[in-house]
Amino acid sequence: MSWLPYLVLSVLCVAALCGGGMIALMGVDGPMLVGVGIGAGLGLGMMLLGWFTTLKSLRGGKPAALGHALGGFFLRLVVLTCGFFAVALTGAGNPAGFAIAFMLAVMAYLALQVVLAARTIQVPAVGAA
């Protein structure tokens, strides 16, 4: 058995504990929960979309997978920035809660992406011709 599932699980646990700690330090109230809900919902939606597009890009080889990972990073950065300002300017919820929940979903998606890539991309053995 590989060490990869243990690494991914430990990273996700640490991220969830840090995110929960940050939210607890800022105080849990109605706007915070709304912001967390918006961020988690948008993050999970992007994770679902990313699941299918990652599988498709991994079939195209390493260059396609690398381009997909880089493009997805910039897309998530734009969504985080626009979502933060949208939540802040509309007053729909706490923008810090949105950002924390969205980034936790991004961390979970990156862990998923590592597992998918590790299972899909075959690395030649050392000394193989």
CA pair distance 49, 124, nearest whole angstrom:
30
**Domain ranges (residues) in the chain:** 4-120
Cβ neighbours for 26, distance < 8 A, ≥ 6 positions apart: 32, 94, 96, 97
- To which residue do tokens 């079939």 refer? 59
pLDDT tens column, 12-46: 898 889 889 998 999 999 999 999 999 999 999 99
Sign of CA dihedral 17, 80, 31, 110: negative
pLDDT digits (tens, 9 = 90+) for 80-125: 999 999 999 999 999 999 999 999 999 888 888 888 777 777 666 6
Q: Which alpha helices (H) appear in the chain, and where do they start and end?
A: 4-26, 30-59, 62-90, 95-120
